Each structure stands twice: as structure tokens, then as C-alpha cells.
Amino acid sequence: MKTKILIVAIAAVLISARSFSQTAQTPHGYIYGTNQVATSPFSLADLKLLQQSLLFTEDDIKYLKMSHDILNGQTNDILEVWYGFVGATPQLLYFFSNKTTGKPEADYLAKVRKRFEMWILQTAEANFDQNWLNYQYEIGLRHYATKKNKTDNAHSVPIINYRYIPALTIPVTATLKPFLAKKGASADDVDKMYNAWVKSVLMQTILWGQPYIQKGEF
């Protein structure tokens, strides 16, 4: 009985999130490139060194940009897959659930979903400038106790445990690969776009860890 109730609750959340994604024009809490975003303590020079350590090259930028037009128009379908995965994985859904009742917060999930849609296309744009770097810090703060729940006025748990953030690199990129192949790109180009995405997502999840680590240790 509890399993059936959970499935019904998850379905309701996904329907609500999908409806929000289709109707909202401006993502709630989306402040990319504005003065509301704090300057990242990680410099562009540091970013270059991190990219080198990840074997992230100009070719990866090229293939991320190639993926943009392929993924544009597919973002809602991609999010259906990703949200389905989160909804079916209790230890992940927990971070979007009410801290008192334990039930998923549909409004919270819906608002995050719309910003997640923007994130897909921004990743594919591969513009690694100061605005991009600052926003990675902002995203990290929203996962950490500093700003968790505040952007969306949610009543969820106070922090996302960091171990799950880089772990999501695998399900996010593995499930993305079929979408990269949907518009006629060669198998070789699909592989190169996929590899670029793996590097970029891992790079971003590493950067989101900045607030979790003491000054001088990151």
C-alpha cells in the first residue's frame, strides 16, 4: 500500500512539473548574469587548470556547441527521463521532499525543473566566462545549507549531501546519449558530444562543491 501511495505521489509531482515547464515564461529564481549572483571564489585561471586536469579541450567545446541545436526542442523529453529517475530513486527524491511529511514538494520540483531546462542549453552553449563561473557557485550555494530551499521558499531538508551531486554525472549523461543521436549526427559525432557532456557535467558538479569545502581546501 505504501509503495502504491508513493507511486501516485510521484506521478502527481511529474504532471505538475511538466505543466509548469510548458506554461511558465521566465524561470523562477533564474538570475544568471545579474548582479544578484556572487562572484565565484574560483578564478577563470583556476578553471583552466581544472579543465586541463579533466582533459577538457577546445574539441570538447566544439562538440558541446554541436549538441545545442540537437538538444534544443528536446529538453522537455530529456527532463521527463531525468525526473522519472529522481522520482524512482528515494534517496534523491528525499532532497525535494517536505522535511516534516516526507512527501515530494511538487511546487519545488516544478520550479527547479524549469531552471534545469535552461541548464541543459547553457551547458551546450559552452560559454566558460565569468558569468558562467559565478553561476556555478550560485548553484552550489543552492545545494548547500547556505541557500537550500530559499530561492523557492521550499520546506524541504536543509542540504543536499554532496556525495550524490557528482554521482549524478553518470545517469544524467548516460540517459542523454540517445537524445544526441536523434537528429542524424554520425555515430562518431554522437560519441564525441557524449564525451564532452560527461566532462562538462563532472566539471560543473565539482564546482558545485565549493560551498561544502573549507576555504583553501577546494
Write the pLDDT tens digit of every residue in 131-172.
Answer: 999 999 999 999 999 999 999 999 999 999 999 999 999 999
Give percent above pLDDT 70 in the chain.
89
Whole-structure pTM value? 0.88
Which whole number is the average pLDDT over 63-92?
A: 98
Q: Is the pLDDT of residue 191 over 90?
A: yes
Q: Is the pLDDT of residue 7 over 60?
A: no
102 or 3, greater pLDDT: 102
Using 50, 70 and 90 to split pLDDT, how confident is the model at 26? confident
| Grid cell in block for residue 68 | 545545442
Q: Is the pLDDT of residue 57 over 70?
A: yes
72: amino acid identity, one letter: N
Q: How far apart (Å, rounded) are the C-alpha atoms in residues 113 and 20?
A: 8
Using 50, 70 and 90 to split pLDDT, how confident is the model at 175? very high
Q: How far apart (Å, rounded) are the C-alpha atoms in residues 82 and 80?
A: 6
Based on its alpha-carbon atoms, the radius of gyration of the chain, rounded to whole angstroms, reads 17
Tell me which architecture the domain covering 2-24+42-212 has in CATH: Orthogonal Bundle (1.10)
Q: Is the pLDDT of residue 17 over 80?
A: no
Q: How far apart (Å, rounded) are the C-alpha atoms in residues 5 and 214?
A: 41
Domain residue spans of the chain = 2-24+42-212
Q: Is the pLDDT of residue 124 over 70?
A: yes
How many angstroms from the chain centroid is the CA of residue 201? 8
Q: Is the pLDDT of residue 46 over 50?
A: yes
Using 50, 70 and 90 to split pLDDT, how confident is the model at 176? very high
Q: pLDDT tens-digit profile of 78-109? A: 999 999 999 999 999 999 999 999 999 999 99
Report whether 156 contacts 97 (CB < 8 A).
yes
